[in-house]
Amino acid sequence: MNVAEETPMMKQYKKIKAQYEDAFLFYRLGDFYELFYDDAIKAAKELEITLTKRGNKNDQDIPMCGVPYHSAEQYIATLIEKGYKIAICEQVEDPKKAKGVVKREVIQLITPGTVMDGHVIDEKENNFIAALFPFEDGTATFVKADLTTGEMKGTMLSEDASEWEREIVRKEIKELIVPPSWENSFDEYAVVISTELATELQEEFMPLCDQLHHEKLKKGVALLTNYLKRTQKRVLDHLQPLEVYDVNELMQLDVHTRRNLELMETLRDKKKEGSLLWVLDETVTAMGARLLKSWLEAPLLDRKTIEKRHAIVASFVEHFFEREELREKLQDVYDLERLAGKTAYGNMNARDLVQLRTSLQTLPAFIQILEKIDNPHLLELIEKCGDFHELQTLLEKSIVDDPPVSITEGGMIRKGYHEQLDRYKEASANGKAWISQLEQKEREETGIKSLKVGYNKVFGYYIEVTKPNIRYLEKDRYERKQTLANAERFITPELKEKERLILEAEEESTNLEYELFLEIREEVKKYLRPLQETARVISEIDVLLSFATISERYDYVRPTFTTDRSLEIKNGRHPVVERMIGQGEYVANDMTLNHEREMLLITGPNMSGKSTYMRQTALLVIMAQIGSFVPATSAKLPIFDQIFTRIGAADDLASGESTFMVEMLETKRALTKATPNSLLLLDEIGRGTSTYDGMSLAQAIIEYIHDYTRAKTLFSTHYHELTALEETLDTLHNVHVKAVEEDGEIVFLHKVEEGKADRSYGIYVAKLAGLPERVVERANELLYQYESKEMDTVLEQTRKETVKEDAEQLPLFSWVEEEKRESEEDEREDIVNDIKKLDVLRLSPIEALEKLYTYQKKLQS
């Protein structure tokens, strides 16, 4: 299109749009937000709204669509949920005073990481926007902030890519800010990427780093705050000073471990129900629910802090009535973190102030109950709560109990709070009372019972008389104002005067209410930091109350910590499985690991509970290190620095990686990152390749962990041959999950016992799965043959049985078969001679397996 022929409005639109190429531009025109060109085409499809066209001077149609201003939130929410950004472009001058096109500017860029609307955000989840600033030495600083709560956290990341991935790939990270040169470096992660050029910390944000001595971390804070200031175009007073965390001071759970252990959601359905979070979440407040998630993702390593949490949980368990009172009080405590955020952000309404008032009114009684429990750690916590007596009094005097949502239409301020406002309201009320009396008076004087006094925004107040009753009116009694199909509307000078007084009073009253509301909100803003600190205390108490509630309900026990890396769990239970099948139904099992027993090789049938037994141990460790009690009759645990898992098999089809490759990559992470203080859960390693390949790898991995890593390890396998390793590896012990055969059927006992399993029962599992009976019968026949004869004899016999019928139909080729048999006999003789020459005592297990594998290949070729 020729720019010279564009309308002034479209020139303005294009100029603004050029600054926000990666966002939908919601361009305000009257009562609509309009979108043009590609924005319109894409938005019409995503929002399922009508796409229209607009002509211009060059007779070219411009695609366009629009959404009503008053209902734009729902459309914005839809686009945000799909990962888009929206630039809100508003008129910033009075159209009546404009010379030419009304001036417009983008007043806010709404992105997945900066959205503040409650319709988009899950109240029980954080909504973090993060900034990652890489350095030339391969390290990076990572800083994240939740605009809805103001919390900001940061850490330094090493050059290890898995550390970067662990921090970025979290469900609550909605957007990642990076320098422009790194824009395309994180395409593999399901997160919105944005860029920011400015990397110098601005003066207004320096207080956020007052206690920060790490210059590199300041770069991350600068990147994030500069982006927020540029896009949000408002004061960000509610951002809290950076809370620095060291990844080495928290238990490390990589993406695969969090997924495999189903901490937050289930593997199959991606739902909360069936996860560890589902079991532990009895929190009452939204802020408590958010804190529980953050604890679950980063269990503690500091024993003193963990034991403080355990002590508080123990007190809550012992004080049943106080605990229930506290949980009842929490029902009246709203989301103080997000209410504080709304105050600073400028989008708090009068209903939010009522929620804040209700919360503050509950606090004194809540603290009184906590003081009665008399736990020193609890007293230490509640000392951090702020004093809100004056703020509570202000809100009680100023805000009505049921205010409207809008803050510009009045109806928010209590009578008696402001003298002038009361006069306006009285004038308005008196005027309306006069008008109500006028209707009765006019009915009596005219004798027209259907006469009524009404009001609309166009004509104001009027007297309405139906046409059949017009004849009863005295001439010139009223001044005609409007004619309708079946009635006439009139006014009187006195009525117009009262209308003027009423409307003036209402307008003045509404304007004054708005000013008073803003003053009250500014007063609330002064309590921003105490509110945020109090919110942290209440959310922590909420989580610990949740732990106590769960512990008593499901008979959990307080764990203790050992210093010699030993682990001893008596009658441990899987918290999720127990909850699913019902208390008392789950078969509890012991677990013992110590310096003489570092590794357990777990054998047993499929479906017998090997994986559950392994996961159970990891979940109990995590529960203990976040401060929860655990499902067992007793539990003595070391503090683990990391947990690595390889459980289950899922192809990474998107990146073209096979099940076996994924298995090897996850195993590699465990072997290269684990320390003696780590816990490894390795399930069926090697099953993705041929039997001897898999067995060789499994043994090599076991030996490596035993000799070098020395981590506590649970290793399940179907390679029964590996159980012989117990004789050569000092700290490896065999255990198995018991199953018995009754009347030709397998019964899983789910009980873990010492020693190795005697068989795998795989065919019984196949039968349970419903395989055709003929398949099961044939499998049993072959199994009998494999167990009773030499491998080569079985293979030969099986081959003969399989091709017998075909051989009879092709007698002309019998000489080929004869020659082939002679060749195989020669090859077998060569193999026998090789075996005779082998020095078996000097062969390592791996070398022996390699030889066997080579011979097997030759025999099968």
Query: What tokens were used for 189?
Result: 């992660």
329 is in an annotated binding site: no
Query: What tokens were used for 22?
Result: 């990666």
Interhelix angle 791-809/773-788, nearest 10 degrees: 130
What residues does 646 pair with on adjacent strands? 682
Burial class (CB in 10 A: 0-12, 13-18, 19+), 18: exposed
Interhelix angle 845-860/691-704, nearest 10 degrees: 170
- CA atoms of 577 and 583, how far apart (whole Å): 10
611 is in an annotated binding site: yes
Interhelix angle 528-554/286-297, nearest 10 degrees: 70
- CA atoms of 42 and 477, how far apart (whole Å): 62
What phi, psi does 760 have (nearest 5°)? Answer: -100, -20
Cβ 418 vs Cβ 562: under 8 Å: no
226 is in an annotated binding site: no
Query: What tokens were used for 599?
Result: 């590794």
Q: How far is CA 32 from CA 62, 88, 120, 629, in A?
A: 17, 12, 21, 55
How far is C-alpha 620 from the geometric centre of its chain's CA atoms? Answer: 22
DSSP H stretches of helix in 555-648: 575-581, 610-626
- CA atoms of 331 and 328, how far apart (whole Å): 5
| Half-sphere exposure (Cβ direction) of 859: Cα atoms closer than 13 Å | 18
Q: Which residues of 650-728 form beta strands (DSSP E)?
A: 678-683, 712-716
Q: How far is CA 784 from CA 682, 789, 801, 847, in A?
A: 30, 8, 16, 29
Cβ 496 vs Cβ 481: under 8 Å: no
Give the angle 464-465-466 at the CA atoms, nearest 5°.
125
- Spatial strand order in the sheet of 560-561: 560-561, 634-637, 567-572, 589-593
Rg (CA), the chain: 37
- CA atoms of 400 and 412, how far apart (whole Å): 6
- CA atoms of 363 and 360, how far apart (whole Å): 5
604 is in an annotated binding site: yes
- CA atoms of 440 and 452, how far apart (whole Å): 8
What residues does 175 pair with on adjacent strands? 129, 192
Nearest C-alpha neighbor of 336 from the set 204, 523, 529 = 529
- Spatial strand order in the sheet of 192-195: 192-195, 173-178, 128-134, 140-146, 152-157, 243-244
Query: What tokens were used for 59?
Result: 């007779």
- CA atoms of 370 and 171, how far apart (whole Å): 34
154 is in an annotated binding site: no
| DSSP SS3 for 263 | coil
608 is in an annotated binding site: yes
Amino acid (1-letter code) at residue 637: L
- CA atoms of 198 and 219, how far apart (whole Å): 10
| Half-sphere exposure (Cβ direction) of 793: Cα atoms closer than 13 Å | 7
- CA atoms of 52 and 77, how far apart (whole Å): 22
Greatest Cα pair distance in the chain: 134
Binding-site entries for ATP: 604-611
Binding-site entries: 604-611
